Amino acid sequence: MDAAHKLEISRRGVLIVGAAASAVAAPSVSEAQAAGADAPVLAKVAFEVNGTRRELELDTRTTLLDALRENLNLTGSKKGCDHGQCGACTVIVDGRRINSCLTLAVMHEGGRITTIEGLGQPGALHPMQAAFVKHDGFQCGYCTPGQICSAVAVLDEIKAGVPSHAGADVTAAPQVTSDELRERMSGNICRCGAYSNIIEAITEVAGGNA
Amino acid sequence: MKFDQPATTNPIDQLKVVGKPTDRIEGPLKVSGAAPYAYERRDVAPSPAYGCVIGATIGKGKIQSMDLGPARRAPGVITIVTAQNAGPVGKGAFNTAKLIGGPDIDHYHQAIAVVVAETFEQARAAAQLVRVNYVRTAGEFDLSKAKDGAKAPKQLTGGPPDSALGDFDGAFAAAAVKVDSTYTTPDHAHAMMEPHATIAAWKGDELTLWTSNQMIDWGRGEIAKILGMPKTKVRLISPFIGGGFGGKLFIRADAVLAALGARAAGRPVKIALQRPLMINNTTHRPATIQRVRLGATRDGKITAIGHESWSGDLPGGKPDGAVHQTRMLYAADNRMTATRLAVLDLPEANAMRAPGEATGHMALEVAIDELAEGLGMDPVELRIRNDTQVVPDAAGAPPKPFSQRQLVECLRTGAERFGWARRNPQPGQARDGRWLVGMGVAAAYRGAPTMKSAARVRLNGRGLVIVETDMTDIGTGTYTIIAQTAAEMMGVPLASVRVSLGDSDYPVSAGSGGQWGAASSTAGVFAACMKLRQAVAEKLGFDPDKAVFADGRVSAGRKAAPLADAARDGELVGEDAIEFGDLSKRYQHATFGAHFVEVGIDPYTAEVRVRRMLAVCAAGRILNPKAARNQVIGAMTMGVGSALMEELVVDKGQGFFVNHDLASYEVPVHADIPHQEVIFLDETDPTTSPMKAKGVGELGICGVSAAVANAIYNAAGVRVREYPITLDKLLAGMPAVA
């Protein structure tokens, strides 16, 4: 199969999937739309957050990040840039880490969302959270929830064999090395500069040596 | 408590809790997302309105007209505040430009309005509908052009702007070996992860701001001044701060506009500055042009040292203090420094981590490397050869001694630990596979100022010790070192201490800035604990001078009682401030360090990779080695940023920083930073404070960029004097690839 043909298939695939998704999961636009051209368009959406089903009626412009922070009061996910540049808003949706500021809440009908609050709480920390405390993988703490959500997903990605730029051979199973972790974590900025400690924390959770 | 004599033995010296690498006590809150930052205080403002700030889109000029009509009619809009309708708004004493512009515009993205609406989305959408007509006026945005018209500032950090000793010109002219190099450093952004953010709420004429600010009492006074109200009617609350680096020393537009918006809306308003607005709206570290001249004898004794620095700021602004360390680091009989300030119409220049020294080391410590090369001398040895134990720049007798100065030990220890002996002094010779490899070194100097700092410590009937001070924790570990201090003083485990910070209702602390926070704020807690110990001893009927506080008990002679007994009839309170006498005039209080860096450079692309980093620091008693180490590695990381990538690009025609977001203002990411090592030399300094401590957060950045630059030179033989050292500046000079 040549490259152009592959692209054609995948483009069609996207269209088909997109259509199916909208047929099944299109949020129902409420009456508010009729209130006037300028009135915010509200839509209902339901998804699971940290194991609990949540139903919301939201301005369709609301990002997943703002829905979590402003509507559900889950302020552990941070807004650092609101433009997908810093990673502070990283959450895990359907098993994959995403920048929650770069996606609209209404796009996640039926989604399973894990935020930092869902990983663990003081007194019952997730091993990654505990390792960040032990290795002092933060200072101000503002990028930390995003770093931790990212780190948890990174280890799953490595386990699943998802390749990265750090690997010489994309078909080989990636290993938990410092270079792999640094490459995969590079979407999460820590301006306090605790990177060296963060890699040690993740390495410990992965059971390796940094 | 007055601190005007060197400390003798005190309870801190027990080091049962202080000096231990304790995990951060607020760590579990931060790693679980439970620590509440300014914008997140749903508990205090359950249904706030949202503000969206509009920034001016010219570099200099006037607003001719503003059409607010369509925005006012937009759904959800409650009010729009501009300079025209805000009522009297003053300028803070710490601000160079006013925080709300109009009709005059002083700089690009100066705030000109805030749109307040029911939701964030509505405020943002309505802000897009505001139409503004400007009349642009010419401005000066180019430091290299403005340089020749630059003037001597009134002062440089409290002293005269220029210094001179001996005969610099004569000694430099006569020197056997010379360096005369000019370096440039660009404008830098703090780029802290949490945007400037505030929730404002009025109760009658009283204003409460939940904000993100390093200096609570300064901020309280500034809000009072700006809004024309009594300071006593203003309350600032800032328990968690998502990074500052000097960018949150001062009140900024988010706080003022939230207060004005809340007053106009009649309900609480919250604002976070939009990330793309932050860089031009708030402050930055100014660009510098620096000329360093060094003259030495053939055996490496520096005879002449001269450092001139130019920077720019808005009218009434301040210079960068790039010459500071040159007055302190090396002996030489003939010396001069000069600082010149140009007027630029760019956004306000102001303090960023180690203001002055951060940029100054980037020039001086490369010049020293150049001198070492000219002499054919090892750069570590050259620095050691020119050490001094007295302030070399102080004219007149007797010379002022450093209270502690272990620069030589830092350099020697670092050289040993880093494997400096393996460095090939001939540039471009060392290889690791295809990589060109080089090592660089730089010395580090940063002052160790102290500031008056107060605290209140309460003991309750359950034996809990509760510390209250308006001190802030900006990631620096304040919560933890204050808890360690109180635990040590009161003889209780860390778990029996609670620390409440960042509230202007608490006693006024030193705040976080200038590397003074750790030593000053813990000394304030020390003073308050001494008062509480006195009260406890009196309550229990013990001789206060003989009472020993340990293991949750108080004992004196054969008498002993649980600490909690002292509070059985009600809480006991100790409140005091530490006030520093003239010890810092008798001794120069300073911290020293040495940075070692190894880089690899791709011989084909000139890509630079930092491979190893080591910092050796001598900075007084280290109150918590884990937190202190983190401060230093963070500063080393920021130093890599300013060496290799950080640069606010000036549009010299339009007058603004072009790369005003986190994608285009590049800061180091995980992939840029290797494992980092930090060594703290044993040091206690009884002249600084009863804690015998100093600070490390700013020392850590001083010299890092120069060490990187020197390592690059050692690896590839290319000397770049215009930071950041990007590959385009290296490529032309790269050695031929075999």
Distance CA B349, CA B285 (A): 6
Asked if residue A145 and residue A86 are part of one domain, the reply reads: no
If pLDDT is split at 50, 70 and 90, which confidence band does A3 have?
A: very low
Q: Which residues of B touch A86 (CB under 8 A)?
A: 193, 275, 662
Q: Which residues of B touch A186 (CB under 8 A)?
A: 669-671
If pLDDT is split at 50, 70 and 90, which confidence band does A208 have?
A: low
- How many structural domains is chain A composed of? 2
pLDDT for residue A7 is more than 90: no
Asked if residue A115 and residue A139 are part of one domain, the reply reads: no
Query: Is residue B578 within a helix (H) or strand (E), and if so which, with residue range?
Result: strand B572-580
Q: Is residue A180 part of a domain?
A: yes
* pLDDT, tens digit (0-9, with 9 covering 90-100), for A31-86: 444 344 468 899 999 999 999 999 999 999 999 999 999 999 999 999 999 999 99
Task: Choose the final residue of a domain: A81, A98, A119.
Answer: A119
Distance CA A201, CA A151 (A): 9
Task: Choose the final residue of a domain: A77, A94, A119.
Answer: A119
Asked if residue A177 and residue A91 are part of one domain, the reply reads: no
Q: Output the CA torsion sign for B189, B191, B192, B194.
A: positive
Distance CA B548, CA B123 (A): 60
Give average pLDDT by consecutive 10-residue segment, chain B, 738 residues. 97 98 98 98 92 98 98 97 97 97 98 98 98 97 97 88 96 98 98 98 98 98 98 98 98 98 98 98 98 98 98 97 97 97 98 98 98 98 97 80 97 98 97 97 98 98 97 98 98 98 98 96 98 97 94 95 97 98 95 98 97 98 98 98 98 98 98 98 98 97 98 98 98 87
State the ipTM, two decimals.
Answer: 0.97
Asked if residue A112 and residue A39 are part of one domain, the reply reads: yes
Distance CA B215, CA B213 (A): 6
Pick B243's closest partner by Cβ from A140, A148, A182. Answer: A140
Asked if residue A111 and residue A62 are part of one domain, the reply reads: yes
pLDDT value, residue A72: 98
Q: Is residue A114 part of a domain?
A: yes
Q: Is residue A68 part of a domain?
A: yes
Asked if residue A178 and residue A110 are part of one domain, the reply reads: no
Asked if residue A111 and residue A135 are part of one domain, the reply reads: no
Mean pLDDT score, A13-29: 41
Which CATH number belongs to the domain containing residue A131 in this structure? 1.10.150.120
Q: Is residue A95 part of a domain?
A: yes
Distance CA A123, CA A144 (A): 18
If pLDDT is split at 50, 70 and 90, which confidence band does A16 have?
A: very low
Q: Is residue A76 part of a domain?
A: yes
Whether cis (ω within 30° of 0) applies to the bond prior to A145 is no
Closest Cα in chain A, distance from residue B729 (Å): 25
pLDDT value, residue B190: 98
Mean per-residue pLDDT of chain A: 86
Asked if residue A132 and residue A197 are part of one domain, the reply reads: yes
Active site residue B698: yes
Asked if residue A196 and residue A135 are part of one domain, the reply reads: yes
Alpha helices by DSSP H, B541-593: 583-586
* pLDDT, tens digit (0-9, with 9 covering 90-100), for A86-131: 999 999 999 999 999 999 999 999 999 999 999 999 999 999 999 9
Asked if residue A156 and residue A91 are part of one domain, the reply reads: no
pLDDT value, residue A21: 38
Pick A85's closest partner by Cβ from B74, B274, B662. Answer: B662
Strands (E), A68-134: 90-93, 96-99, 112-114
* Farthest CA pair distance, chain A: 60
State the catalytic residue, choosing from B579, B646, B698, B722.
B698
Q: Which domain holds residue A181?
A: 127-206
pLDDT value, residue A209: 52
DSSP designation for B690: T
pLDDT value, residue B398: 82
Contact status of A185 with chain B (Cβ, < 8 Å): yes
Mean pLDDT score, A10-21: 39
Q: Which of B64, B56, B68, B128 is nearest to B97 (CA)?
A: B56
Residues B621/B13, Cβ–Cβ less than 8 Å: no
pLDDT for residue A2 is more than 60: no
Asked if residue A113 and residue A36 are part of one domain, the reply reads: yes
Q: Is residue A47 part of a domain?
A: yes
The answer to whether the Cβ–Cβ distance between B31 and A144 falls below 8 Å is: yes
Q: Is residue A12 part of a domain?
A: no
Task: Choose the final residue of a domain: A103, A119, A135.
Answer: A119
Asked if residue A115 and residue A29 are part of one domain, the reply reads: yes
Q: By CA distance, what is A68's nearest residue in B? A: B40
Mutate to test the interface with B, among A139, A178, A180, A186 (most CBs of B within 10 A): A139
Dihedral-angle region of residue B718 (phi above 0 means left; psi in -120 to 50 means alpha; beta otherwise): beta
- The total of other beta-carbon atoms located within 10 Å of residue B42's CB is 16
Q: Is residue A169 part of a domain?
A: yes
pLDDT value, residue A168: 86
Contact status of A67 with chain B (Cβ, < 8 Å): no
Which CATH number belongs to the domain containing residue A48 in this structure? 3.10.20.30
Q: Going from the N-terminus, what domains does chain B have, and what CATH number goes with each?
A: 2-35+450-584 (3.30.365.10)
Distance CA B56, CA A65 (A): 28
- How many CB pairs (< 8 A) connect A and B? 207
pLDDT value, residue B738: 57
- Residues 78 to 97 of A: which have CB under 8 A from any B CB? 78-83, 85-86, 88
Residue B292, CA distances (Å) to B179, B492, B704, B710 in order: 7, 53, 18, 16
Q: Which residues pair with A93 in a beta bridge?
A: A96, A113
Q: Which residues pair with B722 in a beta bridge?
A: B184
Length of chain B: 738
pLDDT for residue A191 is more than 80: yes
Contact status of A40 with chain B (Cβ, < 8 Å): yes
